[in-house]
Amino acid sequence: MDRPRRSDGGARRTAPGGEAAARITVQEALELWSAIHPDPEPWAPLAERLGLGANLRQRFENLSGGQQQRLSIALALIGRPRVVVLDELTTGLDPRARREVWDLVRDVRDRGVTVLLVTHSMEEAQTLCDRIAIVDAGRIRALDTPAGLIDSASAATITTFETSVAIDLAALRELDGVTAARSENGTVTVEGAEGVALAVVEALRTQGVAPQRLRVAAGSLDAAYLDLTDTSPETDAMEALR
Amino acid sequence: MTSPTVAVIRTESRLFARERLSLFWIVLFPSLLLGVLGLIPSFRESSTDLGGRSLIDIYVPVTVLLSMIMAAIMTMPPTLTGYRESGVLRRLGTTPARPASILLGQVLVHAVAVAASSVIVIVFGRVAFGTPLPESIVGYVVAYVLALAVSLGIGAAITAVSPNAKTGQVVGMVVFFPSMFTAGVYFPVEALGGTARDIISFTPYGAASNALNDAAGGAFPHLVDLAVMGGWAVGLYLIAVRAFRWE
């Protein structure tokens, strides 16, 4: 399904007919949508909660991208849907508008509406989703909670530390569960499965190195995504056979 | 509680009322043109070539057709293709409202604007230049309704075959000039004779022009003119229905 290209997250219409549609005011759009649904959610409180209360008399074409997006969401909610599909909701929004929309999505979810969110932003998926399906080349590669996905990735934890002396990176790479180890400007980063951090500390002690600024962080969903969608030549061959 | 269709039509009317430029071309421009032509003295003289009528008499039906051309060819197709392009039709399709109601709304607002324009033109011509009122009322209404139907059919077909608003405008322009010509806007085709006249009579606006002129003069329009308009209308709606895409 192709959809209109959006550069600013909203739909700033440029086509002549689109201009006609864009001259509708916020209130008119809300009233129209209320009139065409059998049991509409009262639009006034909805607009208020979406921060559109002050814009009711404003025309769609004069709203900011974020406001247009919020009106769009309001219209989607008026019909009391049980499921909403939100596709690339925050693409092109500034960080503040993004967070406002995120609050809104949480709000929708808390009212018992199932939200299917389509996004390219791992940050967004990690903050908003209860469950994430990673789709690659049209197939679901993984379906789990954000934490579950990160844990299952080969780089579930990221261990970093600083050291003033040269260390044996090769020895670290041979440790059980370590997927990558690199050193940059005196900072060593070791990626690996759960429990790698302890093994690294142990290994450093045997090397006689005292790590400074030792940090252990959970791997990011970004890393999990890259890991899960990594196409080896083998899978490429499989795709080719289809 | 208003019905979805009524709500959509009401919204379409409001939005249409905001399109000042469209309203100007459909409602005011035809009368303006008639007024300018009426200022030319020779246009007001009756001529034996025209069966005792003056050129300005003939321009009343022509300006009536002009507003139909403006509405159905210049305004409606870009609006509808724009609705399709910007996803308005698809969005409406996700609601209990039928997207067809927006098409109905567009047809209605344009038809009302054209009717208003026609009344203004006829009354203005009468008051300013003493042009005759339609003498065969029934004949005029029949010719008028058919002319409006064929106009909206042209608009519907343009909308259906144009994938986007831009193409809609281009196709509209291509159809616009021959329509203006055959309706007699550029010069009174009524005054033409021979084969050229016969060919023009088989175009939608040529036939419409004949029929409106006959009715204005008191005669019931020739059946062949009504049949030409009816035939075009049926053909154009068939094209429109077959080619129309919601998305």
Contact A11 B8 (CB under 8 A): no
In this prediction, residue B2 carries a pLDDT of 66
What's CA B207's distance to the chain center, in Å? 13
Q: Is a pLDDT exceeding 70 seen at residue B59?
A: yes
**Domain-embedded: residue A192:** yes
Residue A2 buriedness (CB in 10 A; 0-12 / 13-18 / 19+): exposed
**Domain-embedded: residue A42:** yes
Closest-CA distance of chain A to residue B17, Å: 10
Closest-CA distance of chain A to residue B107, Å: 14
**Domain-embedded: residue A134:** no
Band of the pLDDT at B230, cuts 50, 70, 90?
Answer: very high
Q: Which of A13-27, A145-159, B93-107, B134-148 has the lowest mean pLDDT?
A: A13-27
In this prediction, residue A108 carries a pLDDT of 84
Q: Is a pLDDT exceeding 50 seen at residue B244?
A: yes
Q: Is a pLDDT exceeding 90 seen at residue A4?
A: no
- Rounded to an integer, the average pLDDT of B163-183 is 90
Q: Is a pLDDT exceeding 70 seen at residue B213?
A: yes
Contact call for residues A134 and A229 (beta carbons, < 8 A): yes
Answer with the residue of higher pLDDT: A233 or A157. Answer: A157
Q: Which of A12-16, B53-57, B94-98, B232-236 has the lowest mean pLDDT?
A: A12-16
Tokens of A124: 């967004």
Closest-CA distance of chain A to residue B23, Å: 13
Cβ count near A207 (within 10 Å): 15
**Domain-embedded: residue A235:** no
Q: Is a pLDDT exceeding 90 seen at residue B226?
A: yes
Q: Domain ends where: A59, A80, A101?
A: A80
In this prediction, residue A231 carries a pLDDT of 60
Of A18, A37, A75, the CB nearest to B86: A18
- Rounded to an integer, the average pLDDT of B92-102 is 82
Which ipTM value was assigned to this complex?
0.78
Q: Is a pLDDT exceeding 60 seen at residue B15?
A: yes
Contact call for residues A4 and A25 (beta carbons, < 8 A): no
- Rounded to an integer, the average pLDDT of A55-62 is 90
pLDDT in tens, B119-169: 999 999 999 998 888 888 999 999 999 999 999 999 999 999 998 888 888
Closest-CA distance of chain A to residue B86, Å: 6
Q: Domain ends where: A56, A80, A104?
A: A80
Q: Domain ends where: A47, A80, A113?
A: A80
**From A11, which residue of chain B is nearest by alpha-carbon distance?**
B86
Average pLDDT, chain B: 89
Tell me the chain B residues in contact with residue A28 when contact means C-beta distances shorter than 8 Å.
11, 14
Band of the pLDDT at A14, cuts 50, 70, 90?
Answer: very low
In this prediction, residue A153 carries a pLDDT of 73
β A114-118/A132-136 pair status: unpaired
- Mutant choice from A3, A26, A32, A73 vs B, greatest count of B C-beta within 10 A: A32
- Mutant choice from A1, A31, A36 vs B, greatest count of B C-beta within 10 A: A36
**From A25, which residue of chain B is nearest by alpha-carbon distance?**
B15
Task: Name the nearest CA neighbour of B239 among B154, B157, B151, B146.
Answer: B157
CB within 8 Å of A35: residues ≥ 6 apart: B1, B2, B3, B4, B6, B7
Domain with A197 in it: what CATH number? 3.30.70.1340
**Domain-embedded: residue A213:** yes
Please provide the size of chain A in residues.
Answer: 242
Distance CA A20, CA B79 (A): 7
In this prediction, residue A159 carries a pLDDT of 85
**From B94, which residue of chain A is nearest by alpha-carbon distance?**
A76
**Domain-embedded: residue A1:** no
**Domain-embedded: residue A5:** no
Of all residues in chain A, the percent with pLDDT exceeding 70 is: 86
pLDDT in tens, A210-237: 888 888 887 777 777 877 777 654 555 4
**Domain-embedded: residue A185:** yes
The whole domain housing A181 covers 154-226
**Total structural domains in chain A?**
2
Which chain A residues touch B if contact means CB-CB below 8 Å?
Answer: 3-4, 11, 13, 15-24, 28, 31-33, 35-38, 75, 79
Q: Is a pLDDT exceeding 50 seen at residue A5?
A: no
Tokens of B186: 């550029």
